């Protein structure tokens, strides 16, 4: 059984197609050298699951998209951000020459939830300061 409530088209009528599921993702599956194998593999799986569920659930009116944050300071990344040499190295790799702030994710999240993205499904929207475009 799925850990989320998925509509059963055989037993319940669906309202207008407004369902959305957003799956978090990170660019580790594209730049695996920066991460370990298990983490990179899990992110590749999330990106694949995003596409597979988008195709599977589209006829139910459910859109599945991912949000791919770049380098943001979090509890998990605090050790990296505490290292001045790492910070300088990474800042030089980012075209925008800054790390992401949580507010940078708001616009992408609003877009994925808004009617403006009604025809968007199976995509990962990367919010990474241009990092993936530069590698």
Percent of the chain residues topping a pLDDT of 70: 74
Catalytic-residue membership of 71: no
Q: Measuring CA to CA, which residue among 33, 133, 125, 44 is closest to residue 93?
A: 133
Angle at 73 between CA 67 and CA 76, to 5 degrees: 85
Domain spanning 19-134: CATH superfamily: NAD(P)-binding Rossmann-like Domain (3.40.50.720)
Per the DSSP assignment, residues forming a β-bridge with 23 are 66
Active-site option among 19, 39, 119, 131: 39
Confidence of residue 24 (pLDDT cuts 50, 70, 90): low
Confidence of residue 72 (pLDDT cuts 50, 70, 90): very high
Percent of the chain residues topping a pLDDT of 90: 59
pTM of the model: 0.75
The stretch 38-64 carries a mean pLDDT of: 90
Give 34: exposed, middle or buried? Use CB within 10 Å, 0-12, 13-18, 19+: middle
Say what the pLDDT of residue 49 is: 92
**Is pLDDT of 11 > 70?**
no
Cα dist. 122→12, 83, 114 in Å?
Answer: 25, 36, 16
* Segment among 38-42, 76-80, 105-109 with least mean pLDDT: 38-42
């Amino acid at each position: 059984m799925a850990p989320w409530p998925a509509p059963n088209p055989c037993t319940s009528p669906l309202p207008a197609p407004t369902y959305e599921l957003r799956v978090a993702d990170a660019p580790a599956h594209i730049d695996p050298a920066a991460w370990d194998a298990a983490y990179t593999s899990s992110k590749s799986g999330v990106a694949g699951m995003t596409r597979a569920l988008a195709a599977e659930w589209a006829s139910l009116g459910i859109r599945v998209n991912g949000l791919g944050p770049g380098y943001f300071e979090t509890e998990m990344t605090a050790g990296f951000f505490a290292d001045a040499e790492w910070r300088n190295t990474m800042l030089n790799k980012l075209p925008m020459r800054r790390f992401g702030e949580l507010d940078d994710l708001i616009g992408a999240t609003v877009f994925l939830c808004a009617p403006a993205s009604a025809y968007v499904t199976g995509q990962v929207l990367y919010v990474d300061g241009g990092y993936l475009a530069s590698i």
